Amino acid sequence: MLRLSKKMLYAIEAVLDIAYHAASEPVQSREITRRQEIPRRYLEQALQQLVRSNILIGVRGPRGGYRLARERRRISVGDIVRVVRDLETSDDPILDAGGSELGVKVVRPMWIRLQEGVMNELDNVSIDDLCDNAAETDIVSEGRKNLDFSI
């Protein structure tokens, strides 16, 4: 069942943070924690799953951190939601074999259609769209302010 959990919200915020604040160096998890006030225990688990799912790339070493695995316009919020949804192990009553005839033949199909509609909407929102929204609301990108183009 699709529901907004803290883990899902933190994962979306973390990917957006990496995309929005990225510079030439990978974004370190402690920087994401500082900026987004995400507890590290939630963040590290989500970041590792996002790496395994090819949304992020983990860079090892003292100056390591995380980068996007592909262009931010090619990562949708739906991609992130699917990764976290698979991480969360709560039982989905929609998949339960039992139930009344009305529940199985009417209510569950309606609920599945609603979830599919929400996922379609989330698939149409890219991380690039969210970065544009952040810029429009005058949120300063730490990565961009650190770029120096002088010769």
Q: Which tens digit of pLDDT belongs to each residue from 22-72? A: 888 899 999 999 999 998 888 888 899 999 999 999 999 888 899 999 999
Q: Cβ distance 80 to 74 under 8 Å? A: no
**Count of domains forming the chain:** 1
Q: Does any domain span residue 117?
A: no
How distant, in Å, are the alpha carbons of 86, 139, 147 from that of 89? 7, 35, 41
- Summarised one tens digit per residue, pLDDT across range 58-88 is 999 888 899 999 999 999 999 999 999 887 7
Q: Does any domain span residue 104?
A: no
Q: What is the pLDDT of residue 31?
A: 93
Q: Is the pLDDT of residue 151 over 60?
A: no
Q: Is the pLDDT of residue 107 over 70?
A: yes
Q: Is the pLDDT of residue 130 over 70?
A: yes
Q: Does any domain span residue 96?
A: no
Q: Does any domain span residue 74?
A: yes
CATH number at residue 137: 1.10.10.10
Q: Is the pLDDT of residue 89 over 70?
A: no
The answer for residues whose C-beta is within 8 angstroms of residue 46's C-beta and 6 or more apart is: 7, 10, 11, 14, 84, 87
Q: Does any domain span residue 119?
A: no
Q: Does any domain span residue 111?
A: no
Q: Does any domain span residue 99?
A: no
63 against 119, higher pLDDT = 119
Q: What is the pLDDT of residue 90?
A: 61
Q: Does any domain span residue 116?
A: no
Task: Provide the domain limits for residue 70.
Answer: 6-91+126-145
Specify the pTM. Answer: 0.86
Q: Is the pLDDT of residue 103 over 60?
A: yes
Q: Cβ distance 128 to 72 under 8 Å? A: yes
Q: Is the pLDDT of residue 148 over 50?
A: no
Q: Is the pLDDT of residue 147 over 70?
A: no
d(Cα 42, Cα 40) in Å, to the nearest integer? 5
d(Cα 130, Cα 107) in Å, to the nearest integer? 33
Element (H, E) at 80: helix 77-87
